[in-house]
Structure formats: C-alpha cells, structure tokens
Amino acid sequence: MKRRFIQKVAFFGYADAEPESVLYKQAYNTAKLFAQQGFTIVNGGGPGVMEASTRGAESVGGNTLAVTFYPKDAPGFEGRYVQNIVDREIVTGNYVERMFKLLEVADVYVIFRGGTGTISEFGAAWVLARLYYGHHKPFVLFGDFWNEVMSTLTRNFLMRGTEERVYRIVKTPKEALDVIGLFERKMQAHDSKRCDVCQNRADIKYKYQL
C-alpha cells in the first residue's frame, strides 16, 4: 500500500469574507469536497474563509484543526472567532508563530483571495517551497485573478527557475481536488523511486517535480 503524503490541507484567505459572498462559498464548498475525501481541514481559527472552511468540513462530518493565538496588542488582527468551532485547537504565542505552525502542520495549502495576512502566508509558503524544492509542500492558488498576480511577480522579481513549479492555479473545488491528487501521485512516485534506489545507494536523494 502506498504511503499517503497529503492528509491535512490548510485554508488561507480573507478574514472579512461574508457568508453570502462568492469567496466564502468557494472556501466552504472546497473544504466540504476535501473533507468528503478524508482530508483534515486546517485554518487559523478566525472568521471569513477560515470559518467557511471549518463549516464546509463539518457539514459532512470532516475533521478540523485550528492554529490560533490570542492577541493583546494587535488591534489589526481579527483574533479567534467563537463561531469557528473545530475538533482540535493549537494555541501559539503570536502571529508569526501561528503562521509558521499552520505551514508546519499542513501538508498542502489552498490560498484564496485575501488581504495582507493572506499575502504573508502566501509569501511564506512560496519561499519555503523554493528553499526546500524537491522536498517541499506545494500549494494551490484558488481564483483566476492569481494568473495576473503571478505573472506580475515573475516579470518583476528575480526568480531562480523553480518558483513556478511549486503551485497550481485553479478556479473550482473540483480542480483543486484534482491538483492535490496530482501532487499526491508525484510524491508517491518520488518516494517509490527513492526507496528502490536507497536499498543499494543510501547516498542518493531524488527530488520530485511538479
């Protein structure tokens, strides 16, 4: 039986997304579909996209996890949302710890439209994927607008060649699920190849490419 690499999926996005908005519904429906496939849904414990992902997962009896912190001097942070009720909560000390704990506990990330907080999470996910390329955690960018964003970034910043290989852009929950399936198959293929070779040459390390 093949090892399963992707079990926890983190959702990042706009904390002010309202339940009637397209964005909220996209996150809800994506989390619902993922939970139906057995993935644990991870988020920051706040409102908006975070709440939507929890509610989507819970609607089908899925597992949910929130990584939170309770701020004292951060008036710009939305904080823990009491209506985002999860199965398990990990409490951290500050925003930076929270962000990197989210990146640590999840196996893959789905990043929706958001504000500066989402930008910070996206940037951290991207740089970690480049630094650990071949052994990295990939991510999904949800929404057609990401094509323009990524095109602008790659044209105007100094890229090293692997940055565009660590993510995929999708427009529907089904596309997001298909992409995560692709990531999983790539990781499994890499693992099988590495294990076969390691029996004879323990010094060889193989990378997987997306």
3-state secondary structure 18-46: CCCCHHHHHHHHHHHHHHHCCCEEEECCC
What pLDDT is recorded for position 206? 36
Angle between helices 173-198 and 22-36 (to 10 degrees): 40
- Assess contact for 10 and 42: CB atoms under 8 A: yes
Which parts of the chain have pLDDT scores under 50?
195-208
Model pLDDT, residue 202:
39
CA–CA dist 25, 5 (Å, integer): 27
Three-state SS at 202: coil
Tell me the pTM: 0.90
Q: How many residues does the chain have?
A: 210
Q: Looking at residue 191, what is its pLDDT?
A: 76
Please give the pLDDT value at position 210: 56
Residue 68: closest CA among 88, 91, 47: 91
Q: Check residue 72 and give its pLDDT.
A: 75
Closest CA to 150 of 176, 169, 130: 169
8-198: CATH topology: Rossmann fold (3.40.50)
Would you state the pLDDT for residue 147? 98
The predicted structure's pLDDT at residue 89: 97
Q: What whole-number distance in Å separates Cα of residue 88 and Cα of residue 90?
A: 7
Residue 162 half-sphere exposure toward CB, CA atoms < 13 A: 17
Question: What pLDDT, on a 0 to 100 scale, did the predictor assign at position 21?
Answer: 98
pLDDT at 3: 82
SS3 114: coil
Whole-angstrom distance, CA of residue 95 vs CA of residue 106: 17
What is the per-residue pLDDT for 1? 65
The amino acid at 76: G
